[in-house]
């Protein structure tokens, strides 16, 4: 990672205590002062990048804890966020506003892919990914042809 420039701050990944829901799991909690410096508003999407090139996208959010030292720039991330993008506590990251967008799903389809075996035996099923792929492929084909005909 290059030396910080005037508009680039190095943040240190800190833990964010677990909440009771996943609602805030991908919030990137930053101090009010740092949000202003980065020209981010709560709800904006931002990209975090480590010196090693690990990147992740999250939702900028105002931290509820005051920063006591002006030269410290903590970014608080949930376990879920850190696990999803492979960030580690103590990582140094650069945060930038991104033009990425979140698209809301029009619908979600859940399909039973079990083999309908009624036995209580637990078995190692090596074909689960094949079945999922076939079902998802069939759903994609249906929706593709429905929208392109």
Would you tell me how many other CB atoms lie within 10 Å of the CB of residue 75? 26
What are the beta bridge partners of residue 60? Answer: 28
Q: What is the mean pLDDT of the chain?
A: 79
- 10-97 adopts what CATH topology? Barwin-like endoglucanases (2.40.40)
Residue 64 pLDDT class (50, 70, 90 cuts): confident
- State pTM to two decimals: 0.64
Q: How high is the pLDDT of residue 62?
A: 93
Pairing mode, strands 55-62 and 45-50: antiparallel
Mean pLDDT is highest, among 1-5, 24-28, 132-136, for 24-28
Q: How high is the pLDDT of residue 113?
A: 74
Pairing mode, strands 10-15 and 74-77: parallel
Q: How high is the pLDDT of residue 5?
A: 47
Share of the chain above pLDDT 90, in %: 39
Concatenated DSSP letters for 65-96?
Answer: SPPSSTT--EEEE-HHHHHHHT--TT-EEEEE
User: Domains of the chain: which residue ranges?
Assistant: 10-97, 105-115+126-149
Q: What is the mean pLDDT of residues 87-92?
A: 93
| Per-residue pLDDT tens over the stretch 102-134 | 888 898 888 887 766 655 555 556 676 666 676
Question: Three-class SS of residue 33?
Answer: helix
Q: Is residue 38 pLDDT above 50, yes or no?
A: yes
């Amino acid at each position: 990672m290059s030396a910080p420039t005037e508009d680039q701050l190095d943040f240190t990944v800190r833990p964010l205590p677990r909440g009771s829901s996943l609602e805030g799991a991908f919030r990137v909690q930053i101090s009010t002062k740092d949000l202003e410096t980065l020209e981010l508003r709560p709800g904006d999407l931002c990209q975090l990048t480590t010196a090693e090139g690990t990147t992740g996208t999250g939702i900028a959010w105002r931290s509820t804890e005051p920063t006591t030292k002006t030269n410290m720039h903590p970014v608080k991330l949930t376990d879920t966020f850190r696990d999803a993008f492979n960030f580690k506590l103590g990582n140094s990251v650069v945060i930038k506003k991104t033009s990425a967008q979140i698209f809301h799903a029009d619908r979600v389809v859940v399909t039973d892919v079990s083999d309908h075996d009624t036995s209580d035996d637990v078995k190692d099923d090596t074909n689960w990914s094949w079945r999922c792929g076939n079902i998802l492929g069939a759903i994609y084909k249906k929706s593709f042809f429905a929208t392109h005909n």
